[in-house]
Amino acid sequence: MQRTQIKKYRIGKPIPTDSVVVDVELEQGAIPYFHTDEPAKRLTFSLEKEDRVYGLGETIRGMNKRGWIYTSKNADDPVHTEDKRSLYASQNFILITSDKRSLGVYVDTPGVVTFDIGYTKLNELRIDFEDFDADLYFVEGESPLSIVSQFRHIIGRSYIPPRWAFGFGQSRWGYKNAEDVRRVADQYEKAGIPIDMIYMDIDYMERFKDFTVDEKAFPNFPSFVEEMRGRGIHLVPIIDAGVKIEDGYDVYEEGVKGDFFCKKENGENLVAAVWPGKVHFPDFLKDSAREWFGNKYKVLLDQGIDGFWNDMNEPAIFYTEDHLKEVFEKIEDYKGKNLDIWSFFEFKGLVGSIDNNEEDYRRFYHEYKGQKIRHDKVHNIFGYNMTRAAGEAFEKLSPDKRILMFSRSSFIGAHRYGGVWCGDNQSWWSHLLLNIQQMPALSMCGFLFSGADIGGFGANTTEDLVLRWTAFGIFTPLFRNHAALGTREQEMYQFPSKDVFKHLVELRYALVPYLYSEFMKAALEEKMLFKPLAFEYSDERSREIEDQLLLGDSIMIAPVYKQNTTGRMVYLPEDMKLVRFRAYDDYDEEVLTKGDHYVKADLNEVLVFIRKGGVLPLAKPADRTTGVKVENLNYLCYEAKPEDYKLYEDDGESRL
């Protein structure tokens, strides 16, 4: 542990989060670097003009977080616009850096924290607390990368998925039965587009009950799972946080009997409503409940399932029984009255704010580490502990084989048990850019196995957006096309350019040896997988590049994220070799000099830049990742030899 230059300070009496797994001695004395304003529950840091601030994991806006205000308060909000302050995650790690200094700060508290990074005052970083209780970790180091790696060391090793999870996955909310799923597989096979996974959204369940399968829609489920496995396809079902209240439903009955659900002040189980109708929430913070819920995944593991995605775990609440009652009572008051404008707005707000209502998060309690704690105080670690429930259980239920797991809601610590997807984005070009910008911040916080819904989840997409998004998605570990119920169908085979999609996905499969190697190095050596240019190049221009990424040690990528363009400006911090791919075996190469270039990239082309000394191994693609071999690789090099590349290899499924 002593290789770290980490200092830990404490304010107040923080509720532990278990996000840090290495013992760091507590320092006494005043908090360094920041000015502490106890009555205001605020820490202040003066930013110099040159300082850039990175981090916060999955959130809105650019890579350099300066100039906005972000609140860690996990939210089920499907409209990820620039004006928002919170998304589904709380990943409270930031890095302040300039030529003169670099400092990492981790704010460890499950409570609400606001990072005002030059919002109120351009040159001030304020960290505001709802409760002034937190462990603060200050990480010094000579470079951003060394700071991140020290930080990653104290939060423990990132989750490692099975190698097949690096394949392509198709998803859509609305596949209703086995026939729908078969059709997806058939169409991908017909189009010759590789695929490893088909995701099952809430409709596979019997009336949205966790750990059930609708018998009518999926008769003899285990044999269907086997049938799909026979075709080389993994089915990946969704699990929601709420457990349906229904007599005779074993999960509900066990939960009541075992005292595993979240309770109201009066000791009764909270009644909320989500997709299943009325539900109780498992108290994932309570050890016994976490263990119980985790073991439930066995029901599906036993039927041949080996991957899951955890949803609605902020938790999202459509309404609570108690709040709904109050709303109806208040509505009675309005009835028959001549509403003035203000009462009208009040009335409208009453009904309009029923879901994910602030008050509701104060209506229930957890039993956490032997204490009764109101939900809002630990809200941000709820989803984390759902994923932890699964992750801890998988170690016992599947001691030999890795299980695919990723979650919507997260907090640092959850990165040890699963990855994340970036929630309900929209089919907007701006969200393709957002996806690019989220990746390095996720790497900083340990969430290596991550990605966003390719093509966009909400709203109707367009073919060119799906193409461009796929051309970026082939580089993200989680590579999944997913869309919302009611939106335009966006499976690749829905579009005329099936061949282009085929070439893109084949290129992904050709990249699997590289992606898997770099991913594993990032996990095992506590490195970043995606890096902003400025983390490796010290020139001024690199600091302002917000739409290019370093991926692993060999390459830089520059995705096209604007509509109606046939190329883009690319900044090269040093000479690099451009490889313009039309297919894994059809590309041209050209050395470009340091500086700005307008680089052509049509809808069927992908730009990869090999760095000096970089080696990019390419495999022969296959229909499934299992067919992608590491023998006879084609090595693309720039001022390097194939032998210079350290390929990481293992069986892709044993636990490490």
Residues 6+ apart with CB under 8 A from 525: 149
> Which helix (H) or strand (E) segment is 7 a member of?
strand 6-11
Q: Which residue lies nearer to ligand MIG by CB, 171 or 542?
A: 171
Q: Which residue lies nearer to ligand MIG by CB, 424 or 623?
A: 424
Binding to ligand MIG in span 220-239, by CB under 6 A:
238
CB of 407 to ligand MIG, least distance (A): 10
Q: Which residue lies nearer to ligand MIG by CB, 131 or 203?
A: 203
Q: Print the binding letters for residues 259-298 with ligand MIG: x by CB under 6 A, - otherwise.
A: ----------------------------------------
Distance in angstroms (rounded) separating the CA atoms of residues 334 and 357: 21
List 202, 403, 404, 523, residue binding ligand MIG (CB under 6 A):
202
Q: Which residue lies nearer to ligand MIG by CB, 150 or 407?
A: 407
DSSP 360: G
CA atoms within 13 A on the CB side of 508: 30
* CA nearest to 366, candidates 261, 437, 469, 449: 261
Distance in angstroms (rounded) separating the CA atoms of residues 64 and 533: 12
- Are the CB atoms for 242 and 314 separated by under 8 Å? no
CB of 201 to ligand MIG, least distance (A): 5
Q: Which residue lies nearer to ligand MIG by CB, 163 or 172?
A: 172
Q: Which residue lies nearer to ligand MIG by CB, 58 or 424?
A: 424
At residue 267, the 3 state secondary structure works out as: coil
CB of 242 to ligand MIG, least distance (A): 11
Q: Which residue lies nearer to ligand MIG by CB, 312 or 466?
A: 312
CB of 75 to ligand MIG, least distance (A): 12
CB of 278 to ligand MIG, least distance (A): 16
CB of 432 to ligand MIG, least distance (A): 17
Binding to ligand MIG in span 468-527, by CB under 6 A:
482
- Are the CB atoms for 127 and 173 separated by under 8 Å? no
List 135, 196, 424, 605, residue binding ligand MIG (CB under 6 A):
424
CB of 379 to ligand MIG, least distance (A): 18
CB of 274 to ligand MIG, least distance (A): 8
List 128, 214, 306, 311, residue binding ligand MIG (CB under 6 A):
311
User: What is the size of the binding site for ligand MIG (CB under 6 A)?
Assistant: 10
Conformation bin of residue 356: beta by default, left when phi > 0, alpha when psi is -120 to 50: left
CB of 415 to ligand MIG, least distance (A): 19
Query: Does the protein bind ligand MIG through residue 201 (CB under 6 A)?
Result: yes
CB of 214 to ligand MIG, least distance (A): 14
* CA nearest to 521, candidates 494, 496, 554: 554
At residue 656, the 3 state secondary structure works out as: coil
Q: Which residue lies nearer to ligand MIG by CB, 173 or 635?
A: 173
Distance in angstroms (rounded) separating the CA atoms of residues 604 and 501: 8
Q: Which residue lies nearer to ligand MIG by CB, 33 or 173?
A: 173
Strand 453-454 to strand 113-117: parallel, antiparallel, or no bridges (unpaired)?
A: unpaired
Q: Print the binding letters for residues 130-169 with ligand MIG: x by CB under 6 A, - otherwise.
A: ----------------------------------------
Q: Which residue lies nearer to ligand MIG by CB, 59 or 554?
A: 59
Within 10 Å of residue 13's Cβ, how many Cβ atoms? 9
Q: Which residue lies nearer to ligand MIG by CB, 311 or 392?
A: 311
Residue 349: both structure tokens together: 């707000």
Q: Which residue intervals of 156-273 are DSSP H helices?
A: 178-191, 221-230, 250-258
Q: Which residue lies nearer to ligand MIG by CB, 248 or 486?
A: 486
CB of 475 to ligand MIG, least distance (A): 21
Using Cβ positions, the residue closest to ligand MIG within the complex turns out to be: 173
Strand 365-368 to strand 371-374: parallel, antiparallel, or no bridges (unpaired)?
A: antiparallel
Binding to ligand MIG in span 88-117, by CB under 6 A:
none
Q: Which residue lies nearer to ligand MIG by CB, 16 or 174?
A: 174
List 104, 110, 423, 458, residue binding ligand MIG (CB under 6 A):
423
Distance in angstroms (rounded) separating the CA atoms of residues 157 and 154: 9
Q: Which residue lies nearer to ligand MIG by CB, 481 or 554?
A: 481
Name the percent of the chain in helix, strand, coil, to the closest 5: 30, 25, 45
List 173, 347, 587, 635, residue binding ligand MIG (CB under 6 A):
173
DSSP 109-139: -SS-EEEEESSSSTTEEEEEESSS-EEEEEE
Strand 234-240 to strand 307-311: parallel, antiparallel, or no bridges (unpaired)?
A: parallel
Distance in angstroms (rounded) separating the CA atoms of residues 635 and 355: 53
Count of residues in the chain? 656
CB of 174 to ligand MIG, least distance (A): 9
* CA nearest to 311, candidates 445, 177, 451, 423: 423
Q: Print the binding letters for residues 550-579 with ligand MIG: x by CB under 6 A, - otherwise.
A: ------------------------------
Q: Which residue lies nearer to ligand MIG by CB, 173 or 587?
A: 173
Positions of E strands within 254-364:
272-274, 277-280, 307-311, 319-320
CB of 309 to ligand MIG, least distance (A): 8
Q: Which amino acid is at 209?
A: K
Query: Does the protein bind ligand MIG through residue 367 (CB under 6 A)?
Result: no
Distance in angstroms (rounded) separating the CA atoms of residues 283 and 293: 9
> Which helix (H) or strand (E) segment is 614 a member of?
strand 614-618
CB of 482 to ligand MIG, least distance (A): 6
List 408, 531, 543, 568, residue binding ligand MIG (CB under 6 A):
408
Distance in angstroms (rounded) separating the CA atoms of residues 484 and 435: 18
CB of 197 to ligand MIG, least distance (A): 14
Residue 565: both structure tokens together: 């363009």
- Residues that bind ligand MIG in the complex, under the rule CB under 6 A: 173, 201-202, 238, 311-312, 408, 423-424, 482
